[in-house]
Structure 1
């Protein structure tokens, strides 16, 4: 059974780690700078014309607001970190399942790899380029202008079966001989584990690659769907 995943963001809400860290750093920097300025202002004020009490109270209020901003940012970061861990726990049910995403797939030497091409609708020629783990071309296969799945049986340019290993599939769409779209086709790979990388949940597949959970477009039971050509 195949389940389409329209958006993995319903289970995963990634937060760029650099954004949160940068925000916290900026607030902390502003906080420290404010303290230094306020201290210097109080230390070097003209004793004959001291700072107005109202103005001083206003600055103290601003000081309190900056402090609260820093604390709020820290608490928000902690909450989002906990949310990420919860998302990873929720996706542990995907371990052992097959997910579809734009990545390389492992060919065991016998079992065909199910590929989901997505050529440009305007194309008049579509070619799928098969590459091994070293990036060498293994085969070029003409495909129809269709998103119908294709099963690669492991054959290379000479018609022999390629050795077992990891292979990627790039689909080129051409119009009048010019390439208008070139992208890695989506394939099904088995999920071995889930991990946290920063605040993102990633899936480790059978090739050892890390796939963002948000990039998954379909989920299915192991071994299903191979009858499609």
Structure 2
């Protein structure tokens, strides 16, 4: 397979800055001082607050602010590590992965690793389109060997280009014993960081988490 798009690595630059955090803390501290001044102004002169009470309030505020600052710094650190992970996985671009995911069909056969239940006596491959409509259901060998889905109907007419979903249904004595998404092969076009995880993007904008990849190989020439 030859890549037909420009490969790229998307890295999200951390947006949390130390200056913004410091600005927020300064603003909150000013607010706290105003509240403290108001408390002193309107306290009961016959029963004033003890100095130890002020010390406790200051210590509590300081502890909360330190926790907020720590959380902000941890978020920034997480963003930095995520960006680093994306860069480290740049060498996955252009390789072929196998994962439980849909595939983009553009006229070329889609390679599938069915992996049915070992005790099954019948296995079906169910194909659905992007709208979730079942378009094909066919019996396949009771084997984990890869197979090619031709992408054509019973008359040999190709289906429309688009994203298709594949499911392997295993039967034993007429009963379904396993039904799960099929493992599909596809070439990585892009690596992105989103929601704290690394996503691999393939043809048709199909995205799969790197943690779901079960095999990785070089592109066949």
TM-score range, shorter chain: 0.7 to 0.9
1:88-99 to structure 2, matched below 5 A, reads: 88-99=86-97
Equivalent residue, structure 1, for 2:4:
none
Give the aligned partner of residue 16 of structure 2.
none
1:152-163 to 2 correspondences below 5 Å: 152-156=149-153, 158=154, 160=156, 162-163=158-159
Structure 2 residue corresponding to 1:197, chosen from 194, 197, 209: 194
Residues of 2 paired with 1:186 and 1:117: CA distance? Answer: 6
Q: Is the 2:152–2:159 Cα contact (8 Å) retained in structure 1?
A: no
Separation in 2 of the partners of 1:90 and 1:151? 32
Per the alignment, do residues 46 and 204 of structure 1 end up closer, same or farther by CA in structure 2, a change over 3 Å counting? same
Q: Number of aligned pairs?
A: 193
Runs of 4+ in 1 over 6 A off after TM superposition: none
Instruction: Please give the residue correspondences for 1:28-107 in structure 2 after superposition, counting only pairs within 5 Å.
Output: 35=32, 39=36, 41-107=39-105
Query: Retained in 2: the 8 A contact 1:139–1:155?
Result: no
Q: How does 1:144-183 map to 2 (within 5 A)?
A: 144-156=141-153, 158=154, 160=156, 162-163=158-159, 165-166=161-162, 167-183=164-180
Take 2:146 and 2:126, find their aligned partners in 1: how far apart are those partners?
A: 15
Give unpaired runs (5+ residues) of structure 1: 1-27, 225-229
Q: Distance in 2 between matches of 1:36 and 1:182?
A: 62
Distance 2:34 2:140 in 1: 68
Cα distance in 1 for partners of 2:40, 2:141 equals 77
Shift in Å, 1:41: 4.6
Larger Rg: 2
CA distance in 2, matches of 1:124, 1:214: 31
CA distance in 1, matches of 2:92, 2:120: 35
**Match for residue 10 of structure 2?**
none
| Structure 2 residue runs without a partner (length 5+) | 1-24
1:207 aligns to what SS in structure 2? helix
Distance 1:197 1:82 in 2: 13
Give distance in 2, aligned partners of 1:45 and 1:186.
70
| TM-score of the superposed pair, with normalisation by structure 2 | 0.72
